[in-house]
Structure 1
């Protein structure tokens, strides 16, 4: 049995929503992987860059490492805000359309 074209789960809106979710997720994942592995690569291949002293007891690596953590929090916040504002509303609209289609 083929799915009904009126079925919201097989609609262009649903497909667009799935593509958008994957796009946002993969973009943020790629960004975080680049930040994290960039930090690790610099640490592995050019540790002298992070060993530069900023003060008597602080090197450049410490604030940059803290920056990696803060960037991950910000990326998580961006995803949560997008999910709460855009994605959840679109999912609710599709659920409502599915309920209306059933009768």
Structure 2
């Protein structure tokens, strides 16, 4: 898409002025920052435990187990990251895409 088209600037201004576009950018930004904060909190909490209480992660999962407590915690962190990513993709593909289509239709009309 080239930006040399004479109506391009006017179209961009119409999109930016649309209240639905402003709502879309606000919602998308809030969701992205919230999920980023959750992931960072989980990862940094894990790193803090590794740094300051590593013996806690070395404890056996149960009496006589060769599996340490740190393994399922690591797996849970990875699964949480996947779930948060899936949540964002689902929201983007349903709510955000639908709102984007509405904005484009209103701009073309």
Q: Does TM, normalized by the shorter one, top 0.5?
A: yes
Among 11, 15, 33, the alignment partner of 2:18 is 11
Is residue 58–residue 70 contact of structure 2 (8 Å, CA) maintained in 1? yes
Among 51, 57, 64, the alignment partner of 2:73 is 64
Is residue 42–residue 77 contact of structure 2 (8 Å, CA) maintained in 1? yes
Alpha-carbon shift at residue 27 of structure 1 (Å)? 0.2
Q: How many residues align?
A: 98
Tell whether 2:83 aligns with 1:74.
yes
- Write the distance in 1 (CA, Å) between the matches of 2:103 and 2:35: 25
Is residue 18–residue 103 contact of structure 2 (8 Å, CA) maintained in 1? no
Tell whether 2:27 aligns with 1:20.
yes
- Write the distance in 1 (CA, Å) between the matches of 2:75 and 2:15: 44
1:56-90 CA deviation, whole Å, 9 max, x = no partner? Answer: 32100000000000000000010011111100000
| Structure 1 residue runs without a partner (length 5+) | none
What TM-score comes out, normalization by structure 2 length?
A: 0.82
What TM-score comes out, normalization by structure 1 length?
A: 0.87
Q: Which runs of 4+ in 1 moved over 2 A?
A: none
Q: CA RMSD in A?
A: 1.8
